[in-house]
Amino acid sequence: MVGYAFMGAAHSQGWRTVGRVFDLPVQPVLAAVCGRDGAAVRAAADRLGWAAAETDWRALIARDDVHVVDICTPGDSHADIAIAALDAGKHVLCEKPLANTVEEAEAMAEAAERARARGRIAMVGFNYRRVPALALARRMVGEGRLGTLRHIRLAYLQDWLVDPAFPLTWRLRKDRAGSGALGDLGAHIVDLAQYLAGEPLAGVSALTETFVRERPLLDGASSGLAATGAGRPADVGPVTVDDAAVFTGRLASGALATFEATRFAAGRKNALRLELNGSDGSLAFDLERLNELSYHDHTEPALSSGFRRILVTEPDHPYLDAWWPPGHGLGYEHTFVHQARDLLHAIATGEHPAPSFADGLSVQRVLAAVEESATKNSVYTTIPAGPAKIPA
């Protein structure tokens, strides 16, 4: 694994746990974790359960005991690490968003296709696909339970940037993160929209905003940002990404979609909410109640119809045959266990992974179209055609 902070800890939890819960065709061994700070990465290896530590990702890829490379670094390094690992004959899991630009994502998808011809797997880490309730929602849409899809609405709301004194971390710099709330949160809801609908977005119309345009530098260090001659103090740097993105879209079938991604929704810590409306019914989900799915069957008589709660804890619900008795809920960390399970099965069987790097590229094209539309004052921006269907 390359990177050991928030996502590295979450992925490590998945790798440590998956073999204790699921019957697997192959067992993962946590061979080595990589980071630039030698002392910190060695401490992380001990804390997270990795057998060894490296300070150069190239050395990690060169190890004979490494067969899978899990990338949990900022987006500016995804392409270099993933392409090198795939070309070296490794399987790859890469955190979302796949890259910082469409061009990088295209190169990664091409490397994945080359690697697939040699039996190597490349998957992107959109972990919310692994929430059992959302996997059940996808199954229900695929079974036609909603009829013709008319609307999708999704919002991902956080509040950790409301304080203008919050420091200028890498997530607020375009050269490191690619974009702000759009890539961090918007990537998740774009992927979920296409995954749940089973079809791609065809175009978008967007607005973005940066509410706080300067922030204190971390620890008073320059982080490569120098003071300007325009009066900006040396311990403050510019925010070069969006704080919020709001956009509408149209699916290939003509269904309408609305999206909101922000890190300025005071009081909302990790609020991901979505609803799908079709001719025969609706589905709704709230991540803060992630073991529940709301379903309305519009074909029932109006006298008794309405939204009802599906408690997604039964053994015939997705992933849940390996967990606890009905009614005993799961949490956020379990999505990474399910992600590890699915990747290991794909490696063992040679099946096409989902979400693939091609799916990640599809999301990247939507994000780029959102940025282009916002730059042009919400002009409707079409998205280059990809596969006719988003793999389920």
Domains of the chain: 6-128 (3.40.50.720), 129-382 (3.30.360.10)
Neighbours of 290 (CB within 10 A): 21
pLDDT confidence bin for 355, thresholds 50/70/90: very high
For residue 226, what pLDDT is reported?
A: 41
Regarding beta strands 236-238 and 244-251, do their DSSP bridges make them parallel or antiparallel, or are they unpaired? unpaired
pLDDT confidence bin for 385, thresholds 50/70/90: confident
- 3-class DSSP assignment, residue 100: coil
- 3-class DSSP assignment, residue 109: helix
Above 60 in pLDDT, residue 45?
A: yes
For residue 25, what pLDDT is reported?
A: 96
Mean pLDDT of 152-170: 97
Q: Please write the tens of the pLDDT for every residue from 216-233.
A: 998 744 444 443 444 455
For residue 379, what pLDDT is reported?
A: 86
For residue 225, what pLDDT is reported?
A: 45
Stated pTM of the model: 0.93
Mean pLDDT of 79-83: 98
The CA distance from 93 to 107, in Å, is 16
What type of residue sits at position 117?
A: A
Sign for the CA dihedral angle at 329, 335, 337, 339 comes to positive
For residue 388, what pLDDT is reported?
A: 47
For residue 233, what pLDDT is reported?
A: 52
Mean pLDDT of 318-334: 97
The CA distance from 92 to 89, in Å, is 9
For residue 234, what pLDDT is reported?
A: 59
- Reading phi first (left if > 0) and then psi (alpha if -120 to 50, else beta), residue 139 is in alpha
For residue 392, what pLDDT is reported?
A: 52
